[in-house]
Amino acid sequence: MTDAEAPGAPRIGGDRTMESRKASGSRIEGFYRMDHRERLVALAKHAGLTAEEMAELEKAKPLPFEVADNMVENAIGVVGLPLAVALNFLINGRDRFVPMAVEEPSIVAAASSAARLVRKAGGFTAEADPSLMIAQIQLMSFGDMERALAGLRAAEAKLVAAANEVHPNMRKRGGGALRVELRPLPETPAGPMLICHLVVDVGDAMGANALNTMAEAIAPLAEEASGGEARLRILSNLADQRRGRARARIPFELLAAKDFSGEQTAHRLVEAWAFAAADPYRAATHNKGIMNGIDAVAIATGNDWRSIEAGAHAYAARDGRYGPLTRYAIDGDALLCEIELPLAVGIVGGHLEINPGARIALRLLGVESARELSAIMAATGLAQNFAAMRALATDGIQKGHMALHARGLVVAAGAPADLVDQITRRLIDSGEIKLSKAREILQEEQLES
């Protein structure tokens, strides 16, 4: 008996059985041509999706209104976003199905196609720092800077112990507050300030609430030690001690394109990266492409993508000038691609309890720690960037983009599911990828049938 036939597993209709499809790890041939149920059955087989999880995904109703209403104020509805899975990812020798929630066509296909190429080169290697976050306490009116600094240094053990008292379980799990780091800011528009950083290992959580609670709890002690007055007490989204990184080494022969040799393509990618390294206008777009992938995984897994965005862009400007989050170089007869950025992500926390979709996404990924999730997100960002750069540096991206855009227009024009493929083909062939043209072709098709 195959898994697809197991009791409780939905059966697949039609003549396209799972057995007829080739799959190896996270690579499932023809996944994009399957219908909804077939894809879920394939994931049940290859990623261990349970019957309950399949039923949850099949409903495609991610959030009951009652839950939404308890999440934010003044809720009036729920917004939908496609949840997809990027295939072919081989990261540190392990296959991963990468869940992505995103509205822009071509992102999932681009990530899967880059991952397919990189897996032929041995896959991505990826890793992440321990989950160290920073809470900031802004101190003012402390008088002499040196004396305030010395007072805080002398009180470090007391400050750390007081922070751990408010979250004793974090400490018991091997994390918790670790140290204090001091940042004197002698000249600001509001006069001298002394910023006290509390560095905390938040383990598998994103950690925002714990950090903010700790900062507020120890602020009176920091005031006493510095002789100053505390103002802001809040985490920093520049989580630069919690970075994820990934790399891939792609031999030239895998990079050959229609009009370019592999070596030419590799050099064009390095030139494309150098453009971003030299020009913030380009770097912003370059990094947007990276965040297309990272945000999509963050949203799918219920993480705070705004904090990740804030951290990524602040890190990109760490040298005083905004630059790219990836790096490309020629390494012998191969192209070396690398990424590094702060990734404050969690796999535990209240938000996951009320978000069944995020729980399923994490299960699909098979991650057991926040660090593992961070490493996978770094690899996804690199895949996304590589796909965009390869297209931009060779044929340009509009051909592929417009083909996917055309499908969206055909659906928007109201085409029934069985005509979408045919009308999309006609729309692309017409060379006029517009909603009005999609409507015109739909009318013709409907008159003919």
Out of 158, 351, 401, 434, the active site residue is 401
Annotation says 351 is catalytic: no
**Residues that contact ligand MEV, how many (by CB under 6 A):** 9
Q: Does 397 sit near ligand MEV (CB under 6 A)? A: yes
Least distance in angstroms from the C-beta of 293 to ligand MEV: 10
Token pair 């720092």 in the structure block, residue: 129
Each residue 100-119 as x (binds ligand MEV by CB under 6 A) or -, in order, gives ----x---------------
Shorter beta-carbon distance to ligand MEV: residue 18 or 300: 300
Q: SS3 sequence, the chain?
A: CCHHHCCCCCCCCCCCCHHHCCEECCEECCHHHCCHHHHHHHHHHHHCCCHHHHHHHHHCCCCCHHHHHHHCCCCCCCCCCCEEEEEEEEECCEEEEEEEECCCCCHHHHHHHHHHHHHHCCCEEEEECCCEEEEEEEEECCCCHHHHHHHHHHCHHHHHHHHHHHCHHHHHCCCEEEEEEEEEECCCCCCCEEEEEEEEECCCECCHHHHHHHHHHHHHHHHHHHCCEEEEEEECCCCCCCEEEEEEEEEHHHHCCCCCCHHHHHHHHHHHHHHHHHCHHHHHHHHHHHHHHHHHHHHHCCCCHHHHHHHHHHHHCCCCCCCCCEEEEEECCEEEEEEEEECCCCCECHHHHCCHHHHHHHHHHCCCCHHHHHHHHHHHHHHHHHHHHHHHHCCCCHHHHHHHHHHHHHHHCCCCHHHHHHHHHHHHHHCCCCHHHHHHHHHHHHHHC
CB 427 within 8 A of CB 413: no
Q: Does 405 sit near ligand MEV (CB under 6 A)? A: no
Out of 156, 181, 288, 445, the active site residue is 288
Q: Does 150 sit near ligand MEV (CB under 6 A)? A: no
- Binding segment for ligand MEV (CB under 6 A), chosen from 3-11, 71-79, 147-155, 286-294, is 286-294
Shorter beta-carbon distance to ligand MEV: residue 47 or 114: 114
Annotation says 3 is catalytic: no
Q: Does 289 sit near ligand MEV (CB under 6 A)? A: yes
- Binding segment for ligand MEV (CB under 6 A), chosen from 222-230, 236-244, 281-289, 330-338, is 281-289
Each residue 61-100 as x (binds ligand MEV by CB under 6 A) or -, in order, gives ----------------------------------------
Annotation says 129 is catalytic: no
- Binding segment for ligand MEV (CB under 6 A), chosen from 32-40, 129-137, 280-288, 430-438, is 280-288
Least distance in angstroms from the C-beta of 385 to ligand MEV: 7
- Binding segment for ligand MEV (CB under 6 A), chosen from 175-183, 200-208, 288-296, 324-332, is 288-296
Amino acid at 425: R
- Binding segment for ligand MEV (CB under 6 A), chosen from 80-88, 284-292, 355-363, 418-426, is 284-292
Annotation says 353 is catalytic: no
Shorter beta-carbon distance to ligand MEV: residue 95 or 340: 340
Shorter beta-carbon distance to ligand MEV: residue 110 or 200: 110
Considering only residues 113, 292, 301, 355, which one is a binding residue for ligand MEV as defined by CB under 6 A?
292
Shorter beta-carbon distance to ligand MEV: residue 104 or 338: 104
Q: Does 313 sit near ligand MEV (CB under 6 A)? A: no
CA 256 from centroid of its chain's CA atoms: 28
Task: Tell me the catalytic residues.
Answer: 104, 288, 304, 401
Q: Which residues bind ligand MEV (CB under 6 A)?
A: 104, 285-286, 288-289, 292, 388, 392, 397
